[in-house]
Amino acid sequence: MQALTAEMDDATLRSWLREEDPARVARLFATADAVRAAAVGDAVHLRGLIELSNACVRACAYCGLSVHHRDLPRYRMTAEEVLDCARRAAALGYGTVVLQAGEDPALSGPLIADLIRAIKRETGLAITLSLGERSPADWRLWREAGADRYLLRFETSNPRLYARIHPPARHDRPWDGQGEVPRVRMLRELQDLGYEAGTGIMVGIPGQTWDDLISDLRTFQRLDIEMIGVGPYIPHPETPLAHDFDGAAEHGQQVPNDLPTTLKVVALSRLLVPDANIPATTAVATLDKAQGREDALRAGANVVMPNLTPPQYRVLYEIYPEKACIHETAEQCHACLTARIHSIGRRVGTGPGSAPKRRRHLLQESA
């Protein structure tokens, strides 16, 4: 039986990723759960998700918000609508709101900075931004306005696969397609600006191999990242990747985009970066609407993201089909998620729920 520690070597990681014996997989999840309890405790933090715009200028080959999806009606919430959602988050007792959108240039630097200041003034909530690849000037402006965290998944650390699924936009800085993928560099920039930085990957991207997953896990560890979001890749029929495969499957190396593999990546992420915040993602819940979130919470996750987006917009934030919770109101989502948390003997967290390493930084700054 291979050791399950943060010092695992690549061969051990590989064998756990490919493990199929139910008793051993149960042991992996139980160990990750114990490490989660020791490192970040039993509280499950709620981050209220506000999907403020589904407009996007990018041509990501996997994403239903991308320019490939021509028939998708686009929306952009007003500042007042976003503020209303933030007020609701505060009323429901959440410590954090997450402002997420496609890469939408109409969400200008100053407009988002004003929104951050208004949310802080009215609610005092921690603010996570997930607005895609923006200029360092915007990131600095938003940090100075009071944003606390930034979420930017690098999706895959394999440069060849990254280049294929994430073609550059006109405004991107040049990249030679070798070495570290650009979003990993951007995550360091975000950390340098003082953001608590979150990243993540999709599991089972066509062409993704077991070696790629090992490299992804090592990248989380190298960045000593504060948040790790892991979800299965779910094909969207209006995107090129849903119809496009390369040779990984033929060589028996294709990673499946299924729940067991995703949960193993969640568990190994917890073991390699014990004090990260790790959400039970909506994509996991989409694969198994009955138990997916609970399974992730028992395999190392400690965060869930109830959706606060008004229902008329929520149905249009179609990153993949059949997304979980798409027809619920904020109150229904809240009641459902808190019941799920209690059903597995955990409790709902209070306060901003920062990663312990971030709290350490803050203490050092104020000393």
What are the residues binding ligand SAM (CB under 6 A)? 62-63, 65, 100, 102-103, 130, 132, 152-153, 155, 202, 231, 233-234, 236, 283, 319-320
Distance in Å, CB of 236 to ligand SAM, minimum = 5
Distance in Å, CB of 136 to ligand SAM, minimum = 16
Distance in Å, CB of 248 to ligand SAM, minimum = 17
Distance in Å, CB of 354 to ligand SAM, minimum = 21
Q: How many CB atoms lie within 10 A of CB 197?
A: 24
Nearer to ligand SAM, 8 or 116 (CB): 116
Nearer to ligand SAM, 55 or 214 (CB): 55
**DSSP letter, residue 240:** G
Nearer to ligand SAM, 145 or 283 (CB): 283
Nearer to ligand SAM, 152 or 217 (CB): 152
Distance in Å, CB of 361 to ligand SAM, minimum = 24
Radius of gyration (Cα) for the chain, nearest Å?
Answer: 19
Distance in Å, CB of 258 to ligand SAM, minimum = 13
Q: Give the C-alpha separation, 24 to 200, whole Å.
A: 25
In the chain, which ranges are E strands? Answer: 43-53, 96-101, 126-130, 149-151, 196-203, 227-232, 303-304, 347-348
Distance in Å, CB of 256 to ligand SAM, minimum = 14
**DSSP letter, residue 254:** B
In sequence order, the β-bridge partners of residue 203 are: 232
Q: Give the C-alpha separation, 206 to 196, whole Å.
A: 30
Nearer to ligand SAM, 46 or 129 (CB): 129
User: Exposed/middle/buried for 367, CB within 10 Å: 0-12, 13-18, 19+?
Assistant: exposed
Nearer to ligand SAM, 35 or 305 (CB): 305
User: Exposed/middle/buried for 139, CB within 10 Å: 0-12, 13-18, 19+?
Assistant: buried
Mark 17-33 as b/e (b = at least 16 C-beta within 10 Å): bebeeeeebeebbebbb
Nearer to ligand SAM, 67 or 90 (CB): 67
